[in-house]
């Protein structure tokens, strides 16, 4: 079978300020979050997930969600999104409706992971989100859903493609314009990725399909290439490879945004992102966290980095 022609350009949502900061053991100061988001907003990234309205006693790292939204100052053409855990979180977010443009809701494809993550069955999550999505539509917000463990579950193992598709169809029926399929614990491989996105593309006409890969077992960018071959042109990533999942032990974060941009641009696929500026932003978050990050591009620089230039990780 002939290979599908690769996209000429892609869309990238940066999720580090939410997915990444949420998973840090220490709380990052609000002024540092604001400074880093403002910096990301000037790299050419057009979509940034900035925070989530979750219970502060459960995730203290995001307790300053309202303050962050009030204080960030990014260019007008940057679309800001917030992750919504439930109806109560959505009510809190609506108090700052003028400060963001998109909402993301999330659930797991496997019952066990969903129970561990949000203490709900999949049906309970879907029922709650249907009301949130309906209200978000009346507010003129763009609506995305993220399906975690779409390629496998650390508790249940293989998650059947039909189960993921059925959940995605219910979300599409509830009004989402975009669905991200998450390899939450790094269980995907390129063959599986291309096969499943082929199924989802056929089942979900008119819905934007987004790939969300983690680099747990080093296959993140290989899976990106497989998704590209399946016609996917929308990705989520996190600067510095921040983020992750507490299961399995030793899991790493999301694919690094700067590595994704570097690879795509080298392949002739436009991202609209200023890679040197993004690397500077990644260096800034490394300094704020005070530890090395997993990003290889941060350490080595892009392919065309001038040999005489100061190393990016100096």
State the Cα–Cα distance between residues 280 and 286, nearest whole angstrom.
10
Residue 280's closest CA among 258, 308, 307?
A: 258
The CB density around residue 29, as the number of other CB atoms within 10 Å, is 11
31 CB contacts (<8 Å, ≥6 apart)?
A: none
Contact 150, 166 (CB under 8 A): no
- Burial (0-12, 13-18, 19+ Cβ within 10 Å), 307: exposed
Q: Torsions phi, psi of 126, nearest 5?
A: -65, -40
Give, in order, the Cα–Cα distances in Å from 157 to each of 107, 209, 218, 270.
17, 23, 19, 36
Count of residues in the chain: 314
What residues are annotated to the active site?
Answer: 245
Radius of gyration for the chain, computed over Cα atoms and rounded to the nearest angstrom: 18
Would you put residue 272 in left (φ > 0), alpha (ψ -120 to 50) or beta?
A: left
């Amino acid at each position: 079978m002939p290979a599908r022609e690769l996209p000429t350009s892609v869309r990238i949502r940066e999720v580090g300020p939410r997915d990444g900061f949420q998973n840090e053991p220490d709380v990052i100061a609000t002024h540092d979050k604001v400074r880093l988001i403002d910096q990301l907003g000037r790299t050419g990234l057009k979509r940034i997930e900035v925070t989530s309205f979750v219970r502060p006693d459960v995730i203290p790292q995001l307790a300053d969600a309202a303050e962050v939204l009030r204080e960030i100052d990014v260019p007008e053409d940057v679309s800001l999104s917030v992750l919504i855990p439930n109806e109560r979180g959505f009510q809190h977010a609506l108090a700052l409706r003028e400060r963001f443009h998109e909402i993301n809701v999330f659930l797991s494809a496997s019952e066990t992971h969903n129970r561990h993550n949000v203490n709900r069955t999949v049906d309970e999550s879907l029922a709650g989100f249907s009301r949130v999505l309906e209200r978000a539509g009346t507010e003129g917000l763009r609506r995305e859903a993220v399906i975690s463990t779409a390629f496998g579950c650390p508790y249940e193992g293989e998650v059947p493609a039909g189960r993921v598709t059925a959940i995605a169809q219910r979300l599409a029926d509830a009004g989402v314009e975009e669905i991200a399929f998450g390899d939450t614990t790094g269980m995907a491989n390129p063959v599986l990725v291309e096969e499943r996105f082929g199924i989802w593309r056929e089942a979900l006409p008119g819905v934007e399909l987004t790939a969300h890969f983690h680099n747990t077992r080093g296959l993140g960018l290989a899976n990106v290439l497989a998704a590209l071959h399946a016609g996917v042109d929308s990705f989520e990533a996190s600067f510095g490879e921040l983020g992750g999942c507490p299961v399995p032990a030793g899991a790493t974060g999301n694919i690094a945004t700067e590595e994704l941009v570097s690879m795509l641009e080298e392949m002739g696929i436009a991202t609209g992102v200023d890679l040197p500026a993004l690397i500077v932003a990644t260096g800034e978050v490394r300094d704020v966290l005070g530890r090395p990050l997993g990003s290889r591009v941060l350490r080595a620089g892009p392919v065309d980095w001038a040999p005489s230039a100061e190393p990016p990780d100096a």
